[in-house]
Amino acid sequence: MNSDIDKILFNKEEISKKTQKLANQIDCDYGDEEIVTVGILRGALFFMADLLRILNVKLLTDVMVVSSYDESDIVSSGKVIIQKDVSIDIRNRDVLIVEDIVDTGLTLYHVKQHLLDNGAKSVKICTLLDKPTNRKVEITSDYNGFIIPNNFVVGYGLGYANRYRNLDYIGILKPEVYQSKENES
């Protein structure tokens, strides 16, 4: 285990089992419809890749790059910035957002509204993790993997200052890693 990690929450087998369960639900709900999946980068990179590979539903794939954090922060700035929008024409299409984690809910709230404003017929949300304690707006995932406590987690695509994304498990980052950064600034 990486020495900056306090505790592993989910190992790769648990993540893979949960991803398969979510894929089954999504396949079942959409049936023969063609959907547009929109992965939110960078955090959803690994989850999106693994989920899409096992989905049977017909799909078009796009990504958005969205940020609400400064690189070395562990709390959302509250300001959601779309750095890269969807390229596919989503008008009258069923869209499924694929996201790593919902925390305050601000990112998904804005992204969902943005996609609806751009003419999507429907917008559903699939998240791997949900931290319900910090919610600031009312938003719920249609498909959620794990509910987690209010700790800062990394791994399996989730990063801190762009580190740890490559870990094949999800774990709680030791507070001293970001506390030492806070003391530097």
Residues binding ligand 5GP (CB under 6 A): 40, 43, 68-69, 76, 99-107, 131, 152-154, 158-160
Of the candidates 120, 122, 119, 129, the one whose C-alpha atom is nearest the C-alpha of residue 40 is: 129
- Of residues 121 and 165, the one with the C-beta less far from ligand 5GP: 165
Report, in Å, the least distance between residue 57 CB and ligand 5GP: 23
Report, in Å, the least distance between residue 167 CB and ligand 5GP: 11
Of the candidates 1, 2, 16, the one whose C-alpha atom is nearest the C-alpha of residue 146 is: 16
Beta partners for residue 143, in sequence order: 126
Q: Can you give the C-alpha Rg of the chain in angstroms?
A: 16
**Among residues 94, 100, 103, 130, which one is catalytic?**
103
- Of residues 26 and 108, the one with the C-beta less far from ligand 5GP: 108
Structure tokens at 14: 């648990």
Report, in Å, the least distance between residue 127 CB and ligand 5GP: 9
Is residue 89 annotated as part of the catalytic site, yes or no? no
For residues 93 and 108, is the Cβ–Cβ distance under 8 A? no
Q: Which residues are part of the catalytic machinery?
A: 103
